[in-house]
Amino acid sequence: MINRIIIRIKTLQIIYAYYQNDSRDLKSAENEILKSLQKSYDLYHYLLLLIPMLTDAEQKRIDKHKHKYLVTESELNPNLRLTNNRFSEQLRCNKQLQNFSNEKGTLWNDDDSNFVRQLLNEILRSDIYEDYLKENDTYESDKEFWYKVFKKIIWTNEELNGMLEDKSIYWEDDLGIIGTFVLKTIKRFTLETDSTQTLLPMFKDEEDRAFAIELLHHSIIDGADNNQRITKQISNWDIERIALIDLYIMQIALAEVRNFPSIPVSVSLNEYIDLARYYSTPKSSNFINGILDAIVQDLKKEGLLFKD
C-alpha cells in the first residue's frame, strides 16, 4: 500500500524537518521516515474503521429517537437498511481491523462525537443515501453505497482533513492519497469475503521498504554535492533566494536519479515535478524541470549516469 509516491512525499517532509533541526542525525531521520510511513498505514485502517463507526452512529440515532416522549411513525419504524449494511458488518468483523483496533485504540474521542454525527447527517441527507434506499437490498448495493459515500462525501470532507492534521503531524496531506487505497480495498471485498480477508500490506515487497531508507539516506549524504550541481546551473540566481522546498525537491530527485538504476530518469523527474506543482509555487515545476534536466546531461557527460 505504501507506494513510491507516498515514500517520495514523506521523504520531502522528513528532509525539510531535518534541515530545520540544529542537531541532525541520519539514524534518527531514518527512524522518522519509517514512523511516518507507519502512521500513513495506520490512517488507512482508521479510515476503514470509520465506516462501521458511522453505522453504529446511525443505530444510536435510531435508538435515541425511539425513546423520545413524542415519537413519529418514521421514528417508531425507522428504515434499518443502513444499520444492516452487509459490507459495514464485514469491516466490523475483519480480523485485521479488529487486531489493529485492539492494539492502537480508536482514532476518535468524545470530543469528536459531534463531527461523526454531522458526517452521518450529511450522508443521510445525500442523494447517494436516497438512491440507496430505492435500490434492491443486495450485498453489491451495500458495498457500492459505502464506495460512493467514501469517494464523494468522506474523502472530500475538509473538516475531516483538518482534524486529521490536528491529530497527527504525520497526516498532513495524507487523506488525499490514502483515500485511494481505501477505495481499492472496498472494491476487493465480495459477498463471500469472511473475517480473514487480508487488507492491503504496508509495503508491496521488501524492495519498497528499502527504497524508503535508501532514498532518504542518499538525499542527505549526497546533499552537499547535489547542492553544488544545482548552484552551478543557476548562473543568475543566488542559491539563498531559491525556495527551500524547491531546493529539497531537487536534492531528493537527484539522489533518486543517481542511485536507483532500475528507475528511468524520466519517471523520477516527472514524479518530482509533480511534487513541485503541489507543494511549491506555480512557476517552480518549470524551474525545477530545467535545472534537473541540465544536471542530468552533465552527469551523463561526466560518465556518472548510464541510464535514460
Confidence of residue 153 (pLDDT cuts 50, 70, 90): very high
Q: So what's the pLDDT on residue 307?
A: 82
- Mean of pLDDT values over 256-270: 96
Tell me the average pLDDT across 239-263: 90
Q: What pLDDT, on the 0 to 100 scale, is given for residue 74?
A: 63
Q: Is the pLDDT of residue 79 over 90?
A: no
- On average, the pLDDT of the chain sits at 91
pLDDT at 240: 62
Angstrom distance (rounded) from CA 147 to CA 304: 48
- Residue 152 DSSP class: I
pLDDT at 281 over 90: no
Q: Which three cell numbers stand for residue 202?
A: 504496508
The answer to whether the CB of 230 falls within 8 A of the CB of 244 is: no
Residue 134 confidence (pLDDT) above 90 = yes
pLDDT tens-digit readout, 81-120: 999 999 999 999 999 999 999 999 888 877 788 899 999 9
What are the domain boundaries of the chain?
24-188, 222-301
Position 237 scores a pLDDT of: 62
Look up cell 492491503; give the residue. Answer: 200
* CATH class of this structure's domain 222-301: mainly alpha
Q: How far apart are CA 22 and CA 227, in angstroms?
A: 19
Q: How far apart are CA 54 and CA 60, in angstroms?
A: 10
